[in-house]
Amino acid sequence: MAIKKALRIKKKIDFDKIFSARKSTANKKFVVYQLPSETTHFRAAISVSKKLGNAVTRNRVKRLVRHALMPLSDNLSQTDFVIVCRKGVETLPFDEVQKNLTHVLKVAKIYQKSEI
């Protein structure tokens, strides 16, 4: 299951709005830039620098982050956010990527686990 098109940020103008809001949260492996959204759901983008490796490595990192984000999607607030991957994330196993991503989203108050 992939992230639906309606939940993706692709346009440069959307990226510019989010980055110009200057609200960011970070841990050792990820930086999350966020902007409250007018939509009823979250929208996300994943950014991986060429410094992390070749296209194969960058696509693998994006795939890992997307798959780590999917189980959290039901508990994400209606926010537009960009996940920027830092150096070192390309060597992490999936469970570490998921743990680090969950941590940074909790600190940013984007991920709120619903208590049932």
CATH number at residue 56: 3.30.230.10
Residue 30 lies in a domain: no
Residue keyed to tokens 């194969």: 56
**CB-CB neighbours of 11 under 10 Å:** 10
What's the structural domain count of the chain? 1
On the question of pLDDT at 101 being above 70, the answer is yes
Which residues have C-beta within 8 Å of that of residue 48, sequence separation ≥ 6? 58, 61, 62, 85
Residue 114 lies in a domain: no
Residue 25 lies in a domain: no
Q: How far apart are CA 31 and CA 101, in angstroms?
A: 9
How large is the average pLDDT for residues 60-77? Answer: 89
Domain containing 73 equals: 7-20+35-108
On the question of pLDDT at 83 being above 60, the answer is yes
The 8 Å CB, 24+ separation contacts for 99-106 are 100/27, 100/28, 100/29, 100/30, 101/29, 101/30, 101/65, 101/68, 101/69, 101/72, 102/68, 102/72, 103/27, 104/25, 104/26, 104/27, 104/29, 104/30, 104/31, 104/32, 105/32, 105/72, 105/76
Residue 27 lies in a domain: no
For residues 3 and 17, which has the higher predicted lDDT (pLDDT)?
17
On the question of pLDDT at 15 being above 60, the answer is yes
Residue 58 lies in a domain: yes
What's the pLDDT band for 115 if we cut at 50, 70, 90? Answer: low
Residue 2 lies in a domain: no
Q: How far apart are CA 57 and CA 62, in angstroms?
A: 9
Q: Which of 13-27, 33-47, 55-69 has the highest mean pLDDT?
A: 55-69
In this prediction the pTM is 0.87
What's the whole-number average pLDDT of the chain? Answer: 87
Share of the chain above pLDDT 70, in %: 94
